[in-house]
Every structure is written in structure tokens, then in C-alpha cells.
Amino acid sequence: MSTRPVVIAFISSAMLAVFGCGGDSQGSSPPTGAGGMGGGTTISALACSDLFDQDKVRTYSIDVTPDEWNSIQAEFNDVATLVATGNDFATWHPVVFRMGSETAVDAALKLHGQSSWAQTVMFDGDRRKMQFDISFHEKDPMGKFHGIGKLVFDMTRNDWTFMHDRLAHAWFRQVGIAAGCAANARVEINGAFYGLFIAEETTSKSVIRQFFPDHPDGDLWKGGVQPQTNQEMPDWSRQKAFAMATDMAGVAAIVDLESTVREWAGEALLNNADGSYGGNHNFYIYDTGAKGFVFLPNDTDSTFEWLGLFEDTPFQNHPFYWWEGRPAPAPAPTAAWLAVINDQAWRGKYVDAIDAMLAQWNVGQIQGWIDTWSQQIAGDVAADPHTWATPAQSKDAVAAARDVVAKRAEFLRSFVACERDGSGEDRDGDGVRWCDDCRDDDPAAHPGAAEMCGNGTDDDCDGVVDDGC
């Protein structure tokens, strides 16, 4: 990717009506325009379907026959198969999909998720909530609803704000990182209110075309392994080269690192606990051709205050060593991540990317989204019959999310300053400042330390426990 500034193209209120994306005179809704990250190409304004109007919470009604509903419920409760094989056993079920007076009679529903699916079935009793996709092209390959071929209805049990994906997608699109449009939505099933969701546009060919207009037909891989586009004839040799890249030379040969470290920096600002930053499986890679694969976000529901609520890391998760201090078993970083953080030149470029993304992190704007959207959905949060969080817990989570927007940015600015001027504190006295130390509370663990076999600790801060033992 070019290192020149991303060009943001904003749309006037009059144009918003044409494109069908809600605006807000107070500045609380995200601008519809965005810059692109497709090889330095300047992207014009990116339109969203009117299904993602930010000024309203749409109600969708799903009608399903008793036999199909029983089949869906049987799949949903089959945790043993889900744990053993993943969610590939889920099948498409015919449904009738309605929005007001509009009807899609050839729609289909398929269960969505994995860990959150298993957890809600095991722990939430009568309040467990299924997540699902609605497809409009299972019968007609060209089928669409308001220009959308598939809608994801996502609401993990531990997003107590009910807004993580909506917030994350809005900001990613604004700064030019490929993500689908998203908005909150009410869902009724067979006439009864089932729950509040985030309705999302999948990262598919239409989203790819928006962000990579110069290379719109490449392979998109979920988690780096599962083809999402060109499913019949993906380039498996390219995917294998990515999978086999375990050192800096191999990674640099197959990954567009300029664009990728920028995406990682964006996830660092979001405090993501479960992506290519913060985890090791919820991401996409997209093949841009000669420049290689670029990492893209996927499933951003464990962002903002999530680490603070569930793993006691409110805002100070380390940008390099994000797995340190998290409960065991902590997620393992990808080979690409380890190659970058263990290479001084690319580590520096990642720091530069964080600094650049901080310049596009408007605390007041994002807090404005949180304020406006949380008020917009408050009634549905309280009425939702399938949610783990109480209204009081949701209110507290919203306040925590609002708080972390500012504190995370402040923390990352101190991290960049530490990296840039060398003035960072060395709290454990091991000769390594905190911004370069994976364990600044343990003088025996720091870059360059000897790895002590069998202690279960990453003594030398290279991201591998007991390496060489």
C-alpha cells in the first residue's frame, strides 16, 4: 500500500438521501465516504444499502414453518457436533423474510457463529440467542434484497453494548479498511420479538469491489484457510505459500505488509481481543495479486471494553505482546505477527502505523456514535427476551466503552512516545523500557533473556513459550 495519506470522500446530506445511508446533523452518525487501502488507489465515496440507515432500527420479520423451526432448533442445540466439527454441519433452511410491506419469499436461514453459539446453548437457558445468516441467493444466484445478497444477524452473548460490530465497522470503513456496512436491527420470528441484533453486510465480492477496485477478483480466505470468494477454483498454491511462511523473508514474500500493519494498528486502537491482532483466527486475508495478501478484519464483537469486562484489561493491552497477562490458554499469535514484531524495521513501521491511525481516531466522534446509538436501542435492549446482559449491565458496558475510546488512545500515544524518544519507564529494572518489554513486572522476562525450559513463560518475549527446549 502507498504510504501517502488516505483520502476520505465525504457525502453531503442531499447525497445521503440518494445513497440511502442515514446522516446526522449533529455528527454522531459515521460519514458514508471512506478512503481505500487497495494498493494506494484513491476510493470515491462508499455507499451503503438503505438497510444500514443509521438513523433508525429496522424491524425484520422471519416466517418459518414448524418443521423447519424444529430442524433449526435441533441444529442449534447440537453442541457436541459443533464442538467436534465446527459449524459446517449447519444447513440452509427456507424462510420468508419481511421488512414492512416488502417480502422475500425465497430467503434462507443458516445458523452462524461457533464459540458464542456453544456458550449460549450451554449457559443461557431460556435466554439463549441464535445468530444466523439470511441469504437471498440460495435459489436465485442473482437474488438480492435492497442490493444485499446476504445479511448476517450477529449478537454474541458478551457484547453487552449491543454495538461492537456496528461501531468497529463504521470506523474501519471511515478510515478505508475493508469492512461491510452494519446497523442494529430488531428481529421477529413467527410474529414474536426474538431479539436485538447487529445486521451486517458480509465481507464478500461487493465489499471487495468497493475497497479494491483495481483488483476486485482476488481470493478472500477466512482465517487464512477457508475460501470465501472464487470457492470453486481458489489459488491453493498461494494459500499454501501463506500457510508455510513462518519467517520474515517468507511472510514478506506473500503478505502486503504495508497494508497489513495498518490494519493491525486499527485493531489495536479498537482493543480487539479476537482478531489477527488479539487472537489468531477471526480475520480474513485477501489476495491483491503482486503485492500479496492483506489482512482484513472479521468478527469484531470482542472490541472496545470487552477486555476490561471479561479479562481485566480495560485499555492497556500491549500493542506488541497482546497475549501477555491474559487468562490461560492465551491466544497464540500468527506466524506473520511474530515475524513483524521480531523484526526491528517492521516493528518500527507498525509503531508508525499506530501513530497514523491515532490521527484518524476522533474520540468525540466515536463517543458521539456510542451516545446516540445506545439511546436509539435502549428500549430494545430492555425488551430483548434472548440476552445474557441485564439493562443495568448494558448501561455499564456502554459507559465503559465510551471511557475506553479515550483511554485507549491516550495509552497508545504514550506507547508511541516511548518507542520514539526512548523515555519510557522500566518498571522492573531489567534494562528494557515498558513499551519493548512483554513482562515489565518480571525482570527475568524481557527481549534477549535466556529461555528457561519448562517454566511455561515466554522469557525472551519472542511470542513462543519454551522455544528451543
HEC per residue, 25-78: CCCCCCCCCCCCCCCCCCCCCCCCCHHHCCCCCEEEEEECCHHHHHHHHHHHCC
Helix (H, G, I), strand (E, B) or coil at 79: helix
* pLDDT for residue 104: 96
* pLDDT for residue 9: 31
* pLDDT for residue 43: 36
Contact 429, 414 (CB under 8 A): no
Contact 268, 353 (CB under 8 A): no
Q: Where are the domains of the chain?
A: 424-469
The pTM is what?
0.89
Identify the CA nearest to 399 among candidates 198, 163, 187. Answer: 163
Contact 39, 215 (CB under 8 A): yes
Ranges under pLDDT 70 in the chain: 1-45
**CA 389 – CA 434 distance, rounded (Å):** 36
* pLDDT for residue 255: 97
Cell numbers 500457510 correspond to 243
* pLDDT for residue 23: 35
Cell numbers 448501561 correspond to 395
> E-strand spans in 156-203?
182-189, 192-201
* pLDDT for residue 331: 86
* pLDDT for residue 135: 96
Identify the CA nearest to 69 among candidates 94, 100, 48, 90. Answer: 94
* pLDDT for residue 455: 85
